[in-house]
Amino acid sequence: MDRPTLTARLTGRRLLAAPSQTFLLSFTTEDEADFDFVPGQFVSVVSDSTYPEGHTKAGQPRQETRAYSLASAPRGPHFELCLNRVGAFSETLCSLAMEDIIRVHGPHGTFTRREGQAPALYVGADAGIVPIRSIFRAAVPPHSTLVQIAATREDLLFRDEFAASPGMRYLPMVAPEADFVEAQIRKLLSAHPEIQTAYLCGLNASISPIRDLLKSLSWDRKQIVFERYD
């Protein structure tokens, strides 16, 4: 299925975590009354530039794209992205002025909630919490458990939202050792054997050990929805 390239205007900006310079950016599409996506998906932001000096195509036009998870639930022409000032591309986005225009391609991705699979375990490590926030903004999955992992308390993005969400367990963890995370998840699954699906998102070093743990407990790969950022 072809995905359109849309123009979107910056309509809001909120600093979520000062130490990591993480922002929540709000956009409104210029092209469509409704920007349809499934919570958990991402868009690719498109930028036109030229090849740098020293490249065999120096000075020639090129198109760059970067993928960013959608942080919001579908809401007409509006959507949100969450990112920090890491790399030139993200720095440019974080420095946009209000009403500036970007181009996005999408939506893309399969890190989405499977119907009929509640209750479930959700694990979001660092920026991996963003697509999970999108899922929870659409509707808090019933009887869900969310484990959020971050380097500092300030980087527990959206922690107040999650803590206030009814009908779910919220387990924030700040700079935990891998063994501690695995022990807590093992304890959780032992106490709640009804949990038979897991959604894991983040950097490979944070979430692959959890996937390995689930496999060691005889979970089938179809029970694990996995997305890594590196």
pLDDT tens-digit map of 38-74: 999 999 999 876 677 778 877 777 778 899 999 999 9
Backbone angles phi, psi at 155, to 5 degrees: -90, 5
The tokens 């991402």 sit on which residue? Answer: 42
Task: Determine contact, residues 104/31, Cβ cutoff 8 Å.
Answer: no
pLDDT of 117: 65
Residue whose tokens read 């527990």 = 156
CA 49 to chain centre: 26
195 in Cβ contact with 220 (< 8 Å): no
**Of 178, 74, 187, 43, nearest in space to 121 by CA:** 187
pLDDT at 218: 95
Task: Look at residue 119 in the predicted model and tell me its pLDDT.
Answer: 87
- Which uninterrupted H or E stretch holds 215? helix 204-216
Cis peptide before 166 (omega within 30 of 0): no
Which residues in the chain land under pLDDT 70? Answer: 1-2, 49-50, 117
pLDDT at 116: 74
Task: Classify residue 218 as left (phi > 0), alpha (psi -120 to 50) or beta.
Answer: left
The rounded distance, in Å, linking the Cα atoms of 109 and 133 is: 15
The pLDDT of residue 52: 75
Rounded CA separation 18/210 (Å): 29
- In angstroms, the CA 55 to CA 173 distance is 44
pLDDT tens per residue across span 176-187: 898 999 999 999
Question: How much is the pLDDT for 42?
Answer: 96
- Distance, CA of 52 to chain centre: 31
The pLDDT score that the predictor gives to residue 127 is 93
pLDDT number for residue 87: 83
pLDDT, tens digit, 9 for 90 and up, residues 116-134: 767 899 999 999 999 999 9
Degrees, nearest 5: CA angle 41-42-47: 165
Q: Residue with structure tokens 């590196």?
A: 230
- Domains of the chain as residue ranges with CATH: 5-108 (2.40.30.10), 121-228 (3.40.50.80)
